[in-house]
Amino acid sequence: MSKKQMRKIVVDGETYLWTRRHFHLTEYTQSRCVEKLNIHHADHKRSPLLLRFREEDNQHRPSATDHWYVGSPGDGGIFLLEGGVGCHFCLDFNRPRVIAAIIRLLRATLWNPATDNRPCEPDNALLFLDQHRESLRPVAINPIEIHTARLAEPNSDGPSPPP
């Protein structure tokens, strides 16, 4: 298996390298899907930001009516059913503006790659998103936008529409 090449992004004048991967858990109770983000500061590679968005972690969140779906719609997205009535909040981890917003948010709250000596890996990335949902809302998109874009790709049946 080949290694996925890291993408470069410049945020507030600083260079970062990042990858996004989707994988499946072998042991799970709700969903096997996980979206994984690895973000490294170009000058401080010893302290990467490692985020695992596991649908399994919904069971550890305080809201019984909101539910994060991981790995859909389309490849690399997670979306939130708010109040169980529809999907109005989606983060597409393939979009640099989403990665830039996550970097800014984590740098302001949790991650300092210049001084940290080990990886920064929050226990529950979905809970972190819940706590900072409003600050990420400007980069969120309507999941139908992702679905429509995928359907427009040549030779693609596209993903299933969100529930």
Question: 27-57, pLDDT tens digit by residue?
Answer: 776 677 888 999 999 999 899 999 998 887 8
Bridge partners, 21 (sequence order): 36
Taking a C-beta distance cutoff of 8 angstroms, is the pair 35, 100 a contact?
A: no
How high is the pLDDT of residue 75?
A: 72
What span, in angstroms and rounded, lies between the C-alpha atoms of 162 and 81? 10
Q: Where are the domains of the chain?
A: 7-152
pTM score: 0.78
With CA atoms as reference, report the closest residue to 23 among 6, 42, 4. Answer: 4
CB 147 within 8 A of CB 74: yes
102-113 in b/e form (b: 16+ CB < 10 A) is bbebbbeeebeb
Residue pair 105/111 in contact by the 8 Å Cβ criterion:
no
Percent of all residues in the chain with a pLDDT value above 90, rounded to a whole number:
33
What pLDDT is stored for residue 152 in this prediction?
Answer: 52
Distance of CA 116 to the CA centre of its chain: 22
At 46, is the secondary structure helix, strand, or coil?
Answer: strand
DSSP state of 141: B
Question: What would the pLDDT profile of 63-106 be if each residue is shown by its tens digit?
Answer: 667 777 787 655 777 777 766 666 667 888 989 999 999 999 99
